[in-house]
């Protein structure tokens, strides 16, 4: 029997949630065009759509909000965040942004030109789309084990170094304005990247003079995985590991809505002074002044505290164990998932669970709809709705290797009984899984279609 760790906190404020009747859930789904992003949160019982901006802030963060200095320029809040940034990341410069995609947009605006390529282990949706929006090419070079949900390797987020070397020599470094690495690898099951791999990626990018930017959304979870799984790091603090990681990079983008444990915020950090000037001008044009980005002073204070708290090892050990608890329970009842589990989420392998639904009928979307219908649980599809794109030349659809349903666990929000309810719901769905049908897309935009597409269920 998997055990659930006692939460290292107690609950001081509660937010009611309720499971509305099945007929109402069905009508709500129809109204939302079978797109869970279009649903009203009040119609959701357990919301595992994302761990982004959905965490519970600590009493220290709420207190920090009250210290927010709302001066337009040079606020105390900015200076407090700058001190935390220096302690954890150590980059020479940073600009606050309202969230991760704003940092990605600025980076692409100042560095990426049409026809150029950006390699990474796997770009997440907004990074991928920001590159495509500027007519660049996002290239995913993760190790092959990432595509095998049954492979139990400890660092399935690693970049494949041979693929990276080959890609650079075939493309030419001049056509790669910067290279990335996402820690942990959200699109590939939330899998961590080893420090050894980060060192090698950094060495390869540096050898070719390609600036190296880390997508740092879940840097604390990744650092703790390194501590637990990589030989030689057990006695090194997670904070020191994080320092070591970022010393290998030229900059980072981050959505602080993840391991900053805030409801809004992000940043773009770098060591290059010229880049900082250009990024700053772009920030002022679109987001806000250099010392607040698109945020209020109080948001900066909450991030400053949250970034430090997310590195606390007692918290991280609970966080990873909670995810593992859900994963172990699903393994026990035979639901195919991405193993080993990542830090922030459990990913169900919808291709294996619903083998009768072909990729063009979106098996992971179909399963996420069933999770809502059966138990009012909101999850997210990470498969062909999110990542299938037409080939630029042939226009044939290129489908991703994985069809996943991500059960993202918001930080410090749900308890063991909520997770047990998720397991019970999946147990029920498993008994009638052969009767689940796929869907078709009725209407969708070209980029980031999963957010707003309209679907129709296919009948047998
Ligand atoms: C790895 C990764 N990068 C970038 C982003 C974008 O961050 P945001 O939603 O704050 O724009 C996300 C959000 O889910 C993510 O998981």
Q: Which atom of ligand 1 is nearest to the CA of 266?
A: 10
* Ligand 1 pocket member 217 (CB < 6 A): yes
> Is pLDDT at 353 greater than 70 in this prediction?
yes
* Ligand 1 pocket member 100 (CB < 6 A): yes
> All domains of the chain, ordered by start, with CATH?
22-51+317-457 (3.90.1150.10), 59-309 (3.40.640.10)
* Ligand 1 pocket member 266 (CB < 6 A): yes
Ligand 1 mean position, distance from CA 253 (Å): 9
pLDDT (mean) for 44-67: 98
Rounded to whole angstroms, how far apart are CA atoms 275 and 269?
10
pLDDT (mean) for 338-356: 96
Q: Collapsing DSSP states into helix, strand and coil, what is residue 409?
A: coil
Ligand 1 mean position, distance from CA 186 (Å): 9
Rounded to whole angstroms, how far apart are CA atoms 187 and 137?
17
Model confidence pTM above 0.85: yes
Strands (E), 54-186: 93-97, 117-120, 137-140, 179-182
Q: Collapsing DSSP states into helix, strand and coil, what is residue 139?
A: strand
Rounded to whole angstroms, how far apart are CA atoms 215 and 255?
8
% residues pLDDT > 70 (the chain): 100
What is the distance between the terminal CA atoms of the chain, rounded to a whole angstrom?
38
Nearest CA, atom 3, ligand 1: 124
DSSP annotation of 146: G
* Ligand 1 pocket member 368 (CB < 6 A): no
Nearest CA, atom 2, ligand 1: 124
Rounded to whole angstroms, how far apart are CA atoms 415 and 420?
9
Mean pLDDT of the chain: 97
Query: How far is residue 361 from each of residues 152, 287, 353, 365, 458, measured CA to CA in Å?
Result: 29, 39, 14, 9, 8
Nearest CA, atom 14, ligand 1: 52
Q: Which atom of ligand 1 is nearest to the CA of 257?
A: 10
pLDDT (mean) for 266-292: 97
Ligand 1 mean position, distance from CA 2 (Å): 30
Ligand 1 mean position, distance from CA 293 (Å): 17
Kindly indicate the confidence band of residue 317, based on its pLDDT and cuts at 50, 70 and 90.
very high
The greatest distance separating any two alpha carbons of the chain, rounded to the nearest whole angstrom, comes to: 62
Q: Which of 349, 328, 353, 343 is closest to 147 using CA atoms?
A: 349
Residue to mutate, 50, 96, 255, 261, ligand 1, most ligand atoms under 8 Å from C-beta: 255
Tokens of 402: 């994985």
String of DSSP letters for 158-169: -B-HHHHHHHHH
Residues 6+ positions from 184 with CB-CB distance below 8 Å: 157, 190, 191, 192, 193, 217, 218, 221, 222, 225, 342, 343, 344
Residue to mutate, 183, 186, 451, ligand 1, most ligand atoms under 8 Å from C-beta: 186
* Ligand 1 pocket member 125 (CB < 6 A): no
Q: Collapsing DSSP states into helix, strand and coil, what is residue 254?
A: strand
> Is pLDDT at 460 greater than 90 in this prediction?
no
Q: Which atom of ligand 1 is nearest to the CA of 99?
A: 10
* Ligand 1 pocket member 124 (CB < 6 A): yes
* Ligand 1 pocket member 343 (CB < 6 A): no
pLDDT (mean) for 184-210: 96
pLDDT (tens digit per residue) in 58-117? 999 999 999 999 999 999 999 999 999 999 999 999 999 999 999 999 999 999 999 999
* Ligand 1 pocket member 222 (CB < 6 A): no
Residues in the chain: 460
pLDDT (mean) for 191-215: 98
* Ligand 1 pocket member 186 (CB < 6 A): yes
pLDDT (tens digit per residue) in 387-435? 998 888 898 999 999 999 999 999 999 999 999 999 999 999 999 999 9
Strand order in the sheet with 212-215: 93-97, 266-270, 251-255, 212-215, 179-182
* Ligand 1 pocket member 339 (CB < 6 A): no
Nearest CA, atom 16, ligand 1: 186
Q: Which atom of ligand 1 is nearest to the CA of 184?
A: 1
pLDDT (mean) for 272-291: 97
Ligand 1 mean position, distance from CA 21 (Å): 33
* H or E element in which residue 390 lies: strand 389-390
Q: Are strands 179-182 and 117-120 parallel, antiparallel or unpaired?
A: unpaired
């Amino acid at each position: 029997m998997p055990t659930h760790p006692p939460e290292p906190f107690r609950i001081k404020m509660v937010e009611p949630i309720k499971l509305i009747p099945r007929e109402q859930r069905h009508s709500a789904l129809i109204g939302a065009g079978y797109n869970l992003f279009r649903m009203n949160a009040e119609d959701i019982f357990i919301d595992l759509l994302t761990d982004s901006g959905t965490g519970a802030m600590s009493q220290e963060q709420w207190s920090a909000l009250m210290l927010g200095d709302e001066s337009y320029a040079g606020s105390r809040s900015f200076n407090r965040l700058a001190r935390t940034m220096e302690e954890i990341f150590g980059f020479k410069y940073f600009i606050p942004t309202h969230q991760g995609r704003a940092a990605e947009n600025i980076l692409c605006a100042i560095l990426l030109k049409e026809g150029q390529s950006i390699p990474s282990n796997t770009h997440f949706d907004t990074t991928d789309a920001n590159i495509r929006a500027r007519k660049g090419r996002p290239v995913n070079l993760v190790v092959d084990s990432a595509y095998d949900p049954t492979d139990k390797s400890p660092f399935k987020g690693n970049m494949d170094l041979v693929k990276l070397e080959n890609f650079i020599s075939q493309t030419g470094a001049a056509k790669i304005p910067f290279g990335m690495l996402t820690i942990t690898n959200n699109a590939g099951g939330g899998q961590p990247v080893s420090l050894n791999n980060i060192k090698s990626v950094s060495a390869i990018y540096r050898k070719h003079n390609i600036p190296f930017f880390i997508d740092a959304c879940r840097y604390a979870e990744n650092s703790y995985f390194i501590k637990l799984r990589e030989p030689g790091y057990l006695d090194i603090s997670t904070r020191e590991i994080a320092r070591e990681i970022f010393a290998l990079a030229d900059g980072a983008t981050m959505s602080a809505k993840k391991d900053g444990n805030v409801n809004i915020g992000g940043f773009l950090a770098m060591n290059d002074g010229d880049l900082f000037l250009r990024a700053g001008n772009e920030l002022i044009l679109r987001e806000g002044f250099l010392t607040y980005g698109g945020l209020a002073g109080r948001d900066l204070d909450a991030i400053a505290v949250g970034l430090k708290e997310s590195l606390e090892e007692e918290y991280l050990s609970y966080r990873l164990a909670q995810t593992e608890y859900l994963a172990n329970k699903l393994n026990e009842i035979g639901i195919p998932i991405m193993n080993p589990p990542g830090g922030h989420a459990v990913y169900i392998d919808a291709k294996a669970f619903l083998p009768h639904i072909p990729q063009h009928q979106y098996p992971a979307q179909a399963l996420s709809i069933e999770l809502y219908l059966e138990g009012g649980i909101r999850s997210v599809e990470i498969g062909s709705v999110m990542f299938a794109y037409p080939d630029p030349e042939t226009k044939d659809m290129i489908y991703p290797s994985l069809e996943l349903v991500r059960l993202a666990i918001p930080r410090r929000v749900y308890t063991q009984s909520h997770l047990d309810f998720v397991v019970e719901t999946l147990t029920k769905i498993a008994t009638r899984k052969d009767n689940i049908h796929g869907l078709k897309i009725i209407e969708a935009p070209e980029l980031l279609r999963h957010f707003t597409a309209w679907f129709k269920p296919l009948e047998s």
